[in-house]
Structure 1
Amino acid sequence: MEEKRIKVYGKGRKERFVPFQRTLERHLKEYISIRGLLDHDFLFINIDNTPIKKRIIQETISEIGIAAGVTGVRVSPHTFRHTMAKMYVMNGGDPLSLQIILGHATLDMVRTYVNLFSSDISKKHERHSPLENLYLED
């Protein structure tokens, strides 16, 4: 965790490292202190120290969404991924670094996650417009 990167396995068990920041680091350290150190690299485990299956994570996240009263949107790991990708770009992240974080081979795949609505585009244009950010002296 010293490098603030976590190893993840994508489709086809393709390995990559994803960066994380202070807030997640704090939560991960707390979780690991409760869970304890193990002799394998899996972060989320069952009571018998075996890795949690993907389907269990999906079901748990869905159940949390139902319990929280979330309606009108699917609550799933994929929705979290899509939301992270969109917010990353809206907060000034570039599509190329997002491509690496998401583990996509091409930028075409990134476009499916970053479907900016027209109001989002207008806000970004207002913030980054060269004309609006030009400082001319009289």
Structure 2
Amino acid sequence: MNSATAIEAFLEMMSAERGASANTLEAYRRDLDDAAAGIGGLADASSSDIRAYLDTIAARGFAASTQARKLSALRQFYRFLYAEGLRGDDPTGTAMAPRKSAVLPKILSEAETGRLLDRAAEEAATAPPGMSQVATTRMHALIEVLYATGLRVSELVGLPVEVAQRDQRFFMVRGKGGKERMVPLTEKARAAMTAWLSARARDAAAVESPFLFPAASESGHLPRQVFARDLKGLAARAGIRAARVSPHVLRHAFASHLLQNGADLRAVQQLLGHADISTTQIYTHVLEERLVRLVNEHHPLAD
């Protein structure tokens, strides 16, 4: 089997059996195509070929996290070939991933997040000059739901309209790998979605869409890039530097603010849809800060 055929077979398996999203499949394709260009016969590569390729991408200046991601893609590719009987070994078995430095997620404070939500609510009530009431009502619903649930941006923009029509305190969302999880909705988020449903109903084309946030795009729903751009504009109008704000930053804010206010790390893991607790442990700095505060405030010898 040549490398191109092997890559296509692997991607087909990831899509059919593991429910990988289009973005995930494209990321695997890029990494495997890069490796194929660097190694040559990727499907038949040896352990020394893999080590030489890893040395090459390190020399090209890729960050440790990117090197680790590329190695992970190769590991999964060769495990697939081994499982299918297309290879008798895994050449990545002895390859060592570079150590990644701990990078703390960017977050907004509770006060800053409050300013962002308040600004969205104000604009939804009275659209600023040059902005449509429909656009501001949609943004208010998007940001309230995002902060209330901690959804991934792809999960948020792809929500089905039934989520808002049911008006329930919880709903099920399908995340990575097709796994479902239950997420809560605050009263404010439910109210913002109800207002958006009313605005959405005035658009005949939107009414027929299965998506809560429909758009004339290839996917049929609001593109995540458009939401990210509009969110930065909202942040600037709220007096927050646009570079500090993104949908993922609000997801981090959701998790960090829960932990700061006493939530359990395992509960946050479930709400975020992390398969492994180690992914959620990037927030342990929040727990450490909370423990220090508890000791300083309540230990009899803290003074």
Where does residue 181 of structure 2 map in the other structure?
16
Where does residue 98 of structure 1 map in the other structure?
268
Counterpart of 1:67 (choices 237, 242, 247) is: 237
Where does residue 116 of structure 1 map in the other structure?
286
For residues 103 and 118 of structure 1, do their structure 2 counterparts lie closer, same or farther at Cα, with a shift above 3 Å needed?
Answer: closer
For residues 96 and 119 of structure 1, do their structure 2 counterparts lie closer, same or farther at Cα, with a shift above 3 Å needed?
Answer: closer
Structure 1 residue matching 2:293: 3-state secondary structure: helix
Structure 2 residue matching 1:45: 3-state secondary structure: coil
Where does residue 193 of structure 2 map in the other structure?
28
Is this contact kept in 2: 1:82–1:114, CA < 8 A? no
For residues 52 and 38 of structure 1, do their structure 2 counterparts lie closer, same or farther at Cα, with a shift above 3 Å needed?
Answer: same
The yes-or-no answer on 1:54 pairing with 2:224 is yes
Structure 2 residue matching 1:108: 3-state secondary structure: helix
Runs of 5+ unmatched residues, structure 2: 1-165
The whole-number CA distance in structure 1 between the counterparts of 2:207 and 2:179 is: 23
Q: Aligned-pair distance for 1:72? A: 8.2
The whole-number CA distance in structure 2 between the counterparts of 1:23 and 1:56 is: 23
Q: Aligned-pair distance for 1:16? A: 3.2
Runs of 5+ unmatched residues, structure 1: 133-138
**Residues matched between the structures, number:** 129
Is this contact kept in 2: 1:61–1:76, CA < 8 A? yes
The whole-number CA distance in structure 2 between the counterparts of 1:118 and 1:100 is: 20
For residues 57 and 47 of structure 1, do their structure 2 counterparts lie closer, same or farther at Cα, with a shift above 3 Å needed?
Answer: same
For residues 104 and 118 of structure 1, do their structure 2 counterparts lie closer, same or farther at Cα, with a shift above 3 Å needed?
Answer: closer
Q: Deviations over 1:50-105 (max 9, x none)?
A: 31011111111122223333128620011101111011111121111111110001
For residues 125 and 21 of structure 1, do their structure 2 counterparts lie closer, same or farther at Cα, with a shift above 3 Å needed?
Answer: farther
Where does residue 169 of structure 2 map in the other structure?
4
For residues 91 and 74 of structure 1, do their structure 2 counterparts lie closer, same or farther at Cα, with a shift above 3 Å needed?
Answer: same
Structure in which a larger fraction of residues adopt helix? 2
TM-score normalised to the size of structure 2? Answer: 0.37
The whole-number CA distance in structure 2 between the counterparts of 1:12 and 1:54 is: 19
Larger RCO of the pair (alpha carbons < 8 Å, separation 6+): 2
Counterpart of 1:42 (choices 207, 211, 235) is: 211
The whole-number CA distance in structure 2 between the counterparts of 1:19 and 1:124 is: 28
For residues 16 and 41 of structure 1, do their structure 2 counterparts lie closer, same or farther at Cα, with a shift above 3 Å needed?
Answer: farther
For residues 118 and 107 of structure 1, do their structure 2 counterparts lie closer, same or farther at Cα, with a shift above 3 Å needed?
Answer: closer
Is this contact kept in 1: 2:235–2:242, CA < 8 A? no
Q: Aligned-pair distance for 1:39? A: 4.7
> Looking at CA atoms only, which structure, 1 or 2, has the larger radius of gyration?
2
Structure 2 residue matching 1:42: 3-state secondary structure: coil
Q: Aligned-pair distance for 1:5? A: 2.2
TM-score normalised to the size of structure 1? Answer: 0.73
Where does residue 78 of structure 1 map in the other structure?
248
Q: What letter is aligned with 1:44? A: F
Is this contact kept in 2: 1:85–1:114, CA < 8 A? no
The whole-number CA distance in structure 1 between the counterparts of 2:226 and 2:192 is: 21
Is this contact kept in 1: 2:173–2:182, CA < 8 A? yes
